[in-house]
Amino acid sequence: MLGLNRKDTTLLIAVAILTMFAPIILNPFPVDSAMAQFNAGYPDLMQRFVIFGIFAIGFNILFGLTGYLSFGHAAFLGVGSYSAVWMFKLLSMNVLPAILLAVLISGVFALVIGYVSLRRSGIYFSILTLAFAQMSFNLAYSVLTPITNGETGLQLSLDDPRILDGAGSAGSLPVTNLFGLEMRATETVNLGPWSWDFSAGYYVCALIMLAAFYLSVRIFRSPFGLMLRAVKSNQQRLNYTGLNSRPYTLAAFVISGMYAGLAGGLLASMDPLAGAERMQWTASGEVVLMTILGGAGTLIGPVLGAGFIKYFENIFSKINDNVLHTWFAVLPDGIEDFLVTIVHPFVGKGWHLTLGLMFMLVVIFLPGGLVEGGQRIGRLFRRRKGKQTDAEADASKTPAE
């Protein structure tokens, strides 16, 4: 269906079902239970899941297929955000033109940076992209302050022109919308002790993510994708066959940059603010982590990695000492304080530490990322059920690493 083979279709449908029912799946605990702390089904975080999923899918087209490790992808995310916010300020609060401009501008940006950076490969390419990204960050942070509003971040204000919207509701800031459907509109459905938030903004992001995912599947399975894999396995040999590989890598770079711009534009559409720190090298490093954590070169891996990291960032960072004390309240005072002291460095502001440990464990024991973990578990069950050791099936399933 849709030009996909059976396996990919199943995957696409699975992803579609997961994203469509995410508000329910991510809120497994009743609101009043102690576990409600771990619910992730609120609009902001769900939007981040799919938006950073798009970012990582795009990064994976470059890194997973060609093996070119870009350390400056956050620059495109930032450029996308700034373009989108400027569109909100100047043209209209409709998200469509904002997202289109975000994709377009980041594509042009990627073309320029890619044209220069792709003259080198390996570590030199990584350093070049990193340098470009840091340059963009510093420009946005101070030199280009009139355009980017520096550290404060670019925000909407009441006296923006917004040509198409005309004189909107005076006195309060307009909200982003898609032909009148407000991005922040949220339906809260209460079913017994459970509460689920169905957010319009989330579903817009999720549908775009599905489209982005479908496109990436098509790219992976296309002759173009095959050429990119050839670049990854041995670019020199490819060049010696008389083929110029640079147009292919440049195309992959630009596509990947446009994905990042799309993610940036969506971020700004959900929350109309663009800050320079979106372009910092830590943000570029984050998408590399997401892709590797989930499984580089696999279709679904980057999305899983993005979800994993965002979950830690938003849920673990909010567990403070108070919460810990309520968890361990049943224990005697001495043990309670002791346990809180032990756990304290790993939660709250220490979430980076926990994430770092998880990342190390994954890289050491599951070099193929979370996808490999899933495959191993799957294999375990299949071996128990059937007798056959499916070596061939394994070979076909190992990520294109």
Partner 1 sequence: MSKSNFTRRGVLKTGAVAGAGLALPTYLSAAAHTGFTNAPGDSEVVLGFNVPQSGPYADEGADELRAFELAVEHLNGGGDGGMLNTFSSNVLDGTGILGREVKYVTGDTQTKSDAARASARSMIEKDGAIMISGGSSSGVAVAVQGLCQEAGVIFMAGLTHSNDTTGKDKKANGFRHFFNAYMSAAALAPVLQSLYGADRNAYHLTADYTWGWTQQESIAAATEAIGWNTVNNVLTPLAETDFSAYIAPVLNSGADVLVLNHYGGNMVNSLTNAVQFGLRDAMANGKQFEIVVPLYSELMARGAGANIVGIPGSQNWDWKIENQLGSRYAGTNAFVQSFGTKYGFPPSQAAQTCYAQTLLYADAVTRAGSFNPCAVAEALEGYEFDGLGNGPTLYRAGDHQCFKDVVVVRGKENPENEFDLVEIVEVTPAEQVTYDVDHPMFAGGALGECNPGA
Query: Do the beta carbons of residue 60 and residue 371 sit within 8 Å?
Result: no
* CA atoms of 84 and 98, how far apart (whole Å): 4
Distance of closest approach, residue 36 Cβ to partner 1, in angstroms = 9
DSSP H or E segment with residue 124: helix 122-138
Q: Which residues pair with 181 in a beta bridge?
A: 178
Minimum distance between the CB of residue 237 and partner 1, rounded to whole angstroms? 37
Residue 38 beta carbon to partner 1: minimum distance, rounded to whole angstroms: 11
Closest to 224 measured CA to CA, from 197, 243, 244, 249:
249
CB of 147 to partner 1, least distance (A): 15
Q: Looking at beta carbons only, is 116 or 173 nearer to partner 1?
A: 173
Cβ proximity to partner 1, 96 vs 314, nearer residue: 314
DSSP characters over 340-354: HHHHGGGSGGGHHHH
Instruction: Specify the residue for token string 């954590």.
Output: 293
| Between 44 and 401, CB nearer to partner 1 | 44
Q: Between 129 and 176, whose beta carbon lies closer to partner 1? A: 176
In whole angstroms, the minimum distance from the beta carbon of 182 to partner 1 comes to 10
- In the complex, least distance from residue 314 CB atom to partner 1, rounded to whole angstroms: 6
Q: If we measure between CA atoms, which residue out of 4, 378, 361 comes closest to residue 218? A: 4
Please state, in angstroms and rounded to a whole number, the distance separating the CA atoms of residues 219 and 61.
8
Q: Which is nearer to partner 1, 9 or 354 (CB)?
A: 9
Query: Contact at 8 Å (CB) between 46 and 23?
Result: yes
User: Contact residues for partner 1 (CB under 8 A)?
Assistant: 1-2, 9, 12-13, 16-17, 20-21, 39, 42-45, 48, 138, 141-142, 150-153, 155-159, 171-173, 175, 184-190, 197-200, 202-203, 206-207, 271, 273, 275, 277-278, 314, 317-318, 320, 322, 348-349
Q: Give the nearer residue to partner 1 in terms of CB position, either 155 or 354.
A: 155
CA–CA dist 136, 273 (Å, integer): 17
According to DSSP, the β-strands at 194-199 and 181-182 are: unpaired
